[in-house]
């Protein structure tokens, strides 16, 4: 990213606290990392100017290839991301990285670990790295992530890597919002079986068996190949690729990049890229709408309607379905 339009120290303060959306977007477009950081903070915290941010960034939607990386804690996602960034930079791409931490908002080992493992690129103006949490965001992880992707697209990133820990359904959903999803496994962790349990198998476009320097890598590759073979696939359907890597030594990274390219080609040839992006937009709209509804129901709880209805249900005067119907009708529209 090119330098900020106004690099004077005096400009840093206003940007850091600003809610001047047109100014922030203008600066982010010019590659000012502070403006990008501020916009993502606004997204992450579900700030009231969020609709304005979304409106200003809408024209830049779809300009980046979004690659999700998921897998168990410690499997090597950040190390792989760091190496992929290096490979993408060599090819001249501008790269954004979002490390999503669903649990701990601003502290925690995972985020510190990400910083350490990705610090190779800390001073590269063509790389933007951000850890984010979605606690408090209206609509949660599935709304915050695409919006943060859009900030990075607005800032000129043509590839965005999204790292999520594959532990829960929300993280699986976020990973499935990417154009291409990499699922990382490591030998001897029972990971292949875990992957099936967590529903991760369905979302994987590319499996990376990382830590291939360890015993059992062959067995893990075999297990996962076996599971892929069991899956039913129509003609022309994508067959997940399996790639070995030793991310800690930068080995296998070119193979991962090649698998991503191959999947990207397939997406484009089959109209699947568009379909996935529409699915992502649908999930985003739904999450925002549900967030609004949840908020309104929450505010009803502080009012008199809900307690009144609850008293009626408790004494048997009204059934809970009728009460819920009444509550919904009071929410109104728009
Ligand atoms: N032996 C070996 N160790 C590796 C390899 N890749 C990464 N590691 C190590 O595994 C540890 C975890 O790596 P990370 O990249 O932080 O893993 P992660 O999946 O991002 O971890 P979380 O974000 O905490 O879920 C680090 O100590 C890495 O150095 C590898 O290919 N072989
Ligand atoms: Mg990590």
Over residues 112-132, mean pLDDT = 71
Q: What pTM did the predictor assign?
A: 0.85
Given the structure tokens 């992957």, which residue do they identify? 195
* For the CA of 256, the nearest ligand: 1
Ligand 1 atom 32 nearest Cα: 211
198-205 mean pLDDT: 77
pLDDT at position 311 is 95
Residue 226 token pair: 């076996």
What residues does the ion ligand 2 have nearby, CB within 5 Å? Answer: 77-78, 114
pLDDT, residue 26, reads 96
Closest ligand (CA of 129)? 2
Alpha-carbon distance of 175 to 259, in angstroms, equals 17
Name the closest-CA residue to atom 9, ligand 1: 76
Residue nearest to atom 1 of ligand 1 (CA): 211
Q: Give yes or no for a contact between 27 and 5, defined as CB atoms under 8 angstroms apart.
A: yes
Q: Which residues line ligand 1 (CB under 6 A)?
A: 71, 73-79, 110, 113, 117, 165, 210-211, 213-214, 246-248
Contact 122, 26 (CB under 8 A): no
pLDDT surpasses 50 at 2: no
Nearest to 260 by CA among 120, 93, 131, 74: 93
What percentage of the chain carries pLDDT values higher than 70?
80
| 53/202: higher pLDDT | 53
Please spell the DSSP secondary structure of 211-235, one letter per residue: -TTSTTHHHHHHHHHHHHHHS---T
Q: Return the residue whose CA atom lies nearest to atom 12 of ligand 1.
A: 74
Q: Are 52 and 21 in contact (CB under 8 A)?
A: yes
Mean pLDDT of 8-19: 67
Residue 9 pLDDT > 60: no
Q: 161 C-alpha vs ligand 1 centroid, how far in Å?
A: 17
pLDDT beyond 90 at 118? no
- CB contact at 8 A, 297 and 289: no
Atom 13 in ligand 1: residue holding the nearest Cα? 76
Q: Give the residue, by CA position, lying nearest to ligand 1 atom 2.
A: 211
Report the nearest atom of ligand 1 relative to the CA of 245: 31
Say yes or no to pLDDT of 70 above 60.
Answer: yes
Listed ranges 92-106, 302-316, 320-334; the one with the highest mean pLDDT = 302-316
From ligand 2's centre to the CA of 161, what distance in Å?
12
State both tokens at 27: 């600066």
Question: Which ligand 1 atom sits nearest the alpha carbon of residue 79?
Answer: 15
Computed over its alpha carbons, how large is the radius of gyration of the chain?
Answer: 22
CA of 214, closest atom in ligand 1: 1
Do 183 and 208 meet the contact criterion of CB atoms below 8 Å apart? yes
Packing angle of the helix pair 109-117, 77-90 (nearest 10 deg): 30
* Residue of 184, 248, 255 to test ligand 1 pocket, by largest number of atoms within 8 Å of CB: 248
Centre of ligand 2 from the C-alpha of residue 171, in Å: 13
- Written as six digits, the tokens of 144 are 């915050």
How high does pLDDT run on average in the chain?
83
pLDDT higher than 70, residue 105: no
Higher-confidence residue of 267 and 123: namely: 267
DSSP code, position 8: -
pLDDT tens, position by position, 155-186: 999 999 999 876 666 666 666 679 999 999 99
Q: How far apart are CA 180 and CA 273, in angstroms?
A: 9
For the residues 47-70, what does the mean pLDDT come to? 92
Q: Which residues neighbour 302 within 8 Å (Cβ) at sequence distance 6 or greater? A: none
Q: Is the pLDDT assigned to residue 109 strictly greater than 50?
A: no
């Amino acid at each position: 990213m090119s330098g900020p339009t106004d690099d004077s120290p005096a400009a840093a303060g206003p940007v850091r606290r600003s809610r001047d959306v047109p100014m922030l977007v203008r600066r982010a477009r010019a590659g000012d990392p502070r403006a990008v950081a501020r916009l993502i903070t606004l997204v992450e915290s579900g700030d009231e100017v969020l609709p304005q941010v979304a409106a200003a960034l809408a024209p830049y939607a779809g300009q980046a290839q979004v690659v999700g990386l998921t897998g168990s804690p410690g499997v090597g996602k950040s190390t792989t991301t760091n190496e992929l960034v290096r490979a993408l930079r060599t090819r001249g791409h501008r790269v954004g990285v979002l490390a999503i931490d669903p649990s701990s908002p601003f502290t925690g080992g995972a985020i510190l670990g990400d910083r350490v493992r990705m610090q190779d690129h800390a001073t590269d103006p063509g790389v933007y790295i951000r850890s984010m949490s979605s606690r408090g965001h209206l609509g949660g992880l599935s709304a915050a992530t695409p919006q943060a992707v859009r900030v990075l697209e607005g800032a000129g990133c043509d590839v965005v890597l999204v790292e999520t820990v594959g532990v829960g359904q929300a993280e699986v959903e976020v990973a499935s919002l990417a154009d291409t999803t990499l699922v990382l496994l490591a030998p001897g962790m029972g990971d292949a079986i875990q992957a099936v349990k967590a529903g991760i198998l369905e979302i994987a476009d590319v499996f990376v068996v990382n830590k291939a320097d360890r015993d059992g890598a062959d067995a893990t590759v075999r297990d996962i190949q076996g599971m892929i073979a069991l899956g039913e696939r129509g003609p022309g359907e994508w067959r997940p690729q399996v790639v070995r890597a030793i991310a800690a030594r930068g080995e296998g990274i070119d193979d991962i990049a090649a698998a991503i390219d191959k999947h990207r080609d397939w997406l484009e040839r089959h109209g699947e890229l568009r379909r996935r992006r529409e699915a992502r937009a649908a999930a985003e709209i739904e999450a925002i709408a549900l967030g609004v509804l949840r908020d309104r129901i929450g505010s009803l709880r502080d009012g008199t309607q809900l307690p009144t209805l609850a008293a009626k249900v408790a004494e048997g005067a009204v059934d809970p379905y009728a009460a819920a119907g009444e509550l919904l009708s009071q929410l109104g529209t728009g």
